[in-house]
Structure 1
Amino acid sequence: MRIWDQVDKTDTRYTKDAKVGGQQITSLNGTAMIMKATEVFGPAGFGFGWTVIEERFDKGAEMFVGEGDKRASLGFELNHTVKILFWAKVDGERGQFEQYGCTPYLYKSKYGTTTDGEAPKKSLTDAIKKSLSMLGFSADVFLGMFDDRDYVQQRQEEQAIEQAVDKDAEIAKQQQDRLDYIKSVIDNMQGAQTPHELKKIHDVAVRQLTLRKDEKGAARISLEWKKLSEPKQESAA
């Protein structure tokens, strides 16, 4: 896991939300992944690299236009596929494995049939990114952790410290933000109108603080929740 642990966390600056096949995904910047691989293995072609060993166009579903008697075939979709042999050197020893990359080339869009002239380049980038993912690169994205906005926020805070000119000032700012957040949660809990609302505020805050490894903050919120949840004792007459 030595390499995996070096590369599993993704720099949020090099990601963006994208929609592929109707699904919302986190898109990774291919150049950023190559840059990270260069840090770990050395320059492409020296410490790591790839060879295209197969390239083809695969027939997809048939495309139609019109309805009923006017329905006509536009032909079949075509998907570009490339297979590469990816290699990397670790402690002077070269390892290798195969991986695929795929991209729609001919498909139906709202404009009719559309072709993507950059499909071969995209397929190769896809194959390289998938190869790097097998070594742990950006594992947090491939494991679905970027679907959790709290995780993304945590990564952004960690990066802000790493990239800050004045790290002490950034740490102090984040510590103050933490205190302000805990205070706002307690204020909201104290103003909760029902036990259900109180529990919901508690659960969301504890989850966020636990994700940020702030055990003391989570414990403070839980202590306040228990205090507010206790039945109020009627004053003695």
Structure 2
Amino acid sequence: MANTNLRIWEQVQTTDTRFTKKAKVNGQDITSLSGTAMVMKATELFGPVGIGWGWKVVEERFDEGHEIYTGEGDKRACIGREVGHTVKIALWFIQDGQRGEIEQYGCTRYQYKTSYGMTTDGEAPKKSLTDAIKKALSMLGFSADVFLGMFDDQNYVQQLQAEQALEQAEDKEAELERQKQERLDYIKSVVETMQGAQSLQELKKIHDHAVRRLKARNDDTAIKRVAKELSDLTPKFTQETAA
């Protein structure tokens, strides 16, 4: 019997790579999701905003952070505090005639110091609301592959891009042929690179990297081809070591 508890999750867990981009937040590299794309996905599943799903702002506030100083020594002076904007929402949705509700927070820096001095983000409330909506939808499984860290694996992303390119292509046969040729070119490139390896360690490194990528694509035939090349080339290095 299918697990109905995961019915929504399984429909929305995969992210359309067209609506993602890399970003740096607090020194960390992250995958940024388009809020509009997540709203579109929720609308596809539940219906129009305000009818099949929506949200209500429960709380909104500005929070003072740490003091901001300028200058050094005797000239050091406080010029204010950082301020953050926070919004709490109750996101609701209708599924099978039942109403569900999720509470979540969204936060954005409002007033802070930059290398050019103090600045204020006038769009902080809008950004906080978008953040809260995205976080609430993530509780239902929307873009779970991003939140589970799967987008950190480039092999996963490349496989997803290939699948989505085929799904969205107007000429699916042409796109399928393009992908087939791309696969053959990749295998050929791996084999040639392995043949040019200067040590057993380098050979294994090339092999292992290729296998990780091919496993993400469930390409067992290509994995066997790369493994055969490893097997064929390994004696060359073991003999050199023995000599």
Q: Same fold (TM over 0.5)?
A: yes
1:142-175 deviation per Cα after TM superposition (whole angstroms, max 9, x unaligned): 1122222222221211111011111112112111
SS of equivalent to 1:87: strand
Matches within 5 A, 1:1-237: 1-230=6-235
1:227, distance to aligned residue in structure 2 (A): 2.1
Runs of 4+ in 1 over 4 A off after TM superposition: none
User: Given residue 119 of structure 1, which amino acid in structure 2 is its aligned partner?
Assistant: A
- Aligned counterparts of 1:46 and 1:202: Cα–Cα separation in 2: 53
Percent identity of equivalent pairs? 67
**TM superposition shift of 1:71:** 0.4
Post-superposition Cα deviations, 1:57-90, rounded to whole Å, max 9, x if no partner, equal 1111111111111000012111100000011111
Q: 2:9, 2:123 → 1: CA distance? A: 31
Distance in 1, matches of 2:59 and 2:135, equals 16
* Unmatched runs of 5 consecutive residues or more in structure 2: 1-5
The amino acid across from 1:211 in the alignment is A
Task: State which drifts further: 17-26 or 95-104.
Answer: 17-26
Q: Which runs of 5+ in 1 are unaligned?
A: none
Query: SS in structure 2 opposite 1:86?
Result: strand
TM-score normalised by length of structure 1? 0.94
One-letter identity of the residue aligned with 2:231 = K
> In structure 2, how many angstroms separate the alpha carbons of the residues matched to 1:88 and 1:227?
58
Q: Distance in 1 between the 2:226 and 2:118 partners?
A: 57
* Cα distance in structure 1, aligned partners of 2:187 and 2:29: 32
Deviations 1:7-55 (A, max 9, x none): 1111111111222222221111111110000111111111111100100
Q: Partners in 1 of 2:68 and 2:81 — Cα distance?
A: 6
TM-score scaled to structure 2, two decimals? 0.92
d(CA) in 2 for partners of 1:201 and 1:20?
Answer: 32
Please say which of residues 150-159 and 93-102 is displaced more in the overlay: 150-159
Q: Tell me how far apart the structure 2 counterparts of residues 214 and 88 of structure 1 sit (CA, whole Å).
A: 40
Task: Name whichever of 97-106 and 168-177 sits farther off.
Answer: 168-177
Cα deviation, residue 141, structure 1: 1.2
Over the aligned positions, Cα root-mean-square deviation in angstroms equals 1.3
Task: Name the SS of the counterpart of 1:136 in structure 2.
Answer: coil
